[in-house]
Amino acid sequence: MNSFRLRPEAGIALAYLAFGALWILFSDQIVASLALSTATIMQLQTYKGWLFVSASALLIFGLLRHAFSQERLAQERLLSKQAQLAGEIAERLHAEELLRRVSLRLAEAQESERLALSKELHDQVGQSLTALGINLNLIQAEIGPSISPSLRAHFSSASELLQEITDKIRDIMGELHPPVLQNYGLAAALRWLAERIQRQTGLQVEVQGEIIEPRLPMVTAISLFRIAREALNNVIKHAQASRAWVRVEATPEQVILCIQDDGQGFDPAITQNNQNSQWGLATMRERVELLHGSMKIESAPGEGTTIIVRVPRAL
């Protein structure tokens, strides 16, 4: 049942009305019953009026004071809540920045591990393979032209196997750390990647970009390289493109990497909501966020794809 409830301010107004009516009624009766002179009655009426007005003023003052103090209290509570919230946000931002820094350090550590492993492979395995190749050639030369056809076949299959292993080791080294990045910078490493892709898949990749001076921090350069590599992998896997372009340029504040293809394109909104195990674009975004950068995908079915990544030059 909906019960009727009087609001407090209406209750106070009604009580005041009742008190005022009773005051006027009874005080007039009392004054009349005293049988005083007209002048005294007039005097009493004036006092009565003053008394009423003073009591009313006191009542209004009390009520307003209460109402305003409630409002002030509410405002103070709101302000302290706001300050608390601002503190929590600042704390959270600080924690996020700390986490980003730690992740950045981890990424740097991982990259230097990969670089060390790649160098180790080059120095240990690579040099042994080269020595093995020289030895094979020496043995073959020692035996000379009298070599039997079956031994010749064994030698040539051993040489082919050796070449295969050398190529695989070189590929693994390239995966671990692009060979030219350390010495010649990002644009050179992207050219190396483009040539490799062109050789392996036939996709024409054109790279534009100069040496960036002063050098980018290694983690920035390697992250941009890995982003470009995943974007080009996607071009190979999904775009059915005949050409791709990679452009890298630097301003005093930021580096801009752009990967474009003339393939079939896609709807980025659908991909963003996709829950399937597609890691490529998500990993690219994560790398960009780690560097405090931004990534934009411009694509639509039938219109090719352009990915633009901007990251600050300083970490």
Ligand X SMILES: Nc1ncnc2c1ncn2[C@@H]1O[C@H](COP(=O)(O)OP(=O)(O)OP(=O)(O)O)[C@@H](O)[C@H]1O
The DSSP H or E segment spanning 307 is strand 305-312
Contact 311, 293 (CB under 8 A): yes
> In angstroms, rounded to a whole number, what is the distance separating the alpha carbons of residues 159 and 132?
9
> In angstroms, rounded to a whole number, what is the distance separating the alpha carbons of residues 50 and 249?
86
Give Cβ neighbours of residue 140 (< 8 Å, ≥ 6 apart).
147, 155
Backbone φ and ψ of 220, nearest 5°: -70, -50
Question: Taking contact as CB under 5 A, which single stretch among the options 46-54, 58-66, 231-239, 254-262 is the one that binds Mg ion?
Answer: 231-239
Closer of 75 and 240 to Mg ion (Cβ)? 240
Question: Taking contact as CB under 6 A, which single stretch among the options 83-91, 201-209, 245-253, 274-282 is the one that binds ligand X?
Answer: 274-282
**5 interface partner picked from Mg ion, ligand X, none, CB below 5 to 8 A per type:** none
Closer of 38 and 276 to ligand X (Cβ)? 276
Residues 234-253 that bind Mg ion (CB under 5 A): 234
Closer of 188 and 203 to ligand X (Cβ)? 203
The DSSP H or E segment spanning 288 is helix 280-290
Give Cβ neighbours of residue 204 (< 8 Å, ≥ 6 apart).
198, 242, 243, 244
Q: Annotate 68-117 with three-state secondary structure.
A: HHHHHHHHHHHHHHHHHHHHHHHHHHHHHHHHHHHHHHHHHHHHHHHHHH
Closer of 122 and 285 to Mg ion (Cβ)? 285
From the list 140, 198, 204, 271, which residue makes contact with ligand X (rule: CB under 6 A)? 271
Closer of 238 and 292 to ligand X (Cβ)? 238
Closer of 179 and 280 to ligand X (Cβ)? 280
Closest approach of Cβ 138 to Mg ion, in Å?
Answer: 46
Question: Taking contact as CB under 6 A, which single stretch among the options 6-14, 66-74, 143-151, 271-279 is the one that binds ligand X?
Answer: 271-279
Which residue sits closest to ligand X, CB atoms considered?
280
From the list 136, 198, 280, 298, which residue makes contact with Mg ion (rule: CB under 5 A)? 280
Encode burial over 195-219: b for 16+ CB neighbours within 10 A, e otherwise. Answer: ebbeeeeebebebebeebeeebebb
From the list 261, 287, 290, 311, which residue makes contact with ligand X (rule: CB under 6 A)? 261
Q: Does 269 bind ligand X (CB under 6 A)?
A: no
Site residues (vs Mg ion, CB under 5 A): 234, 280
Site residues (vs ligand X, CB under 6 A): 234-235, 237-239, 261, 263-266, 271, 278-282, 305
